Amino acid sequence: MAKRDLDKSASRFLNALRRTSAGLEQQRQRILDRAASAPRLLPDSQFPVIDLTGDLGNDLDYYIYELARLQDIGRSMIKVFGQPQDLLDAQAKFDVGIPSLRVIRNPLTHPNDNDELDEVAWFSSAVKLKPDGNVEELVDPRYEQHDVATAYCLALTQYLRARVQLAIVADPPKPIDQQIADRTR
């Protein structure tokens, strides 16, 4: 069996993290912009009650997909790089910070005829409506959960960048003239 090239793995993971991070930021901004421009239903209330009628929730869906992709990238990195403790700790913080991610993500991605989403409502966040009138936050891109995702992405990126830096120190690039000569022989 061929040995895995961990430098190439690091490069692939860095590319995936850049795309995922950009997706999270773009979708979050779209959610925030939509909420900021939505009509206020109770303008004199201390609570910002807004009218999101007509918003299908696609931006929130895509935000949730990106969160799950970030979680999957982290899990894959942990496996590929031999379960480094700092990545395990970062994954644990992410899982604690967004505990209901898979509760909402899996039924969104794999819809079927069951009641998994019957009690879920889409606002600027995805919430589960409880029979007693309370709500359970599933995913909220506006506040702490976004900070948790950003911190996790940063931890993964820093780990990979450190690996790449060590690889460059261990095997520095040849001078440019030598690289050109090697490619033109």
Chain segment 148-161, per-residue pLDDT in tens: 999 999 999 999 99
Domains of the chain: which residue ranges? 6-171
Taking the C-alpha atoms of residue 59 and residue 64, their distance in angstroms, rounded to an integer, is 9
> Longest C-alpha distance within the chain, in Å?
76
Q: Is 183 within 8 Å of 101 (Cβ atoms)?
A: no
Helix, strand and coil in the chain, % to nearest 5: 60, 10, 30
Chain segment 45-90, per-residue pLDDT in tens: 887 777 777 776 788 889 999 999 999 999 999 999 999 999 999 9
Q: Is the pLDDT of residue 132 over 90?
A: yes
Burial group, residue 96, by CB count within 10 angstroms (0-12, 13-18, 19+): exposed
- The pTM of this model reads 0.84
Q: Would you give the distance in Å from CA 150 to the centre of its chain?
A: 8
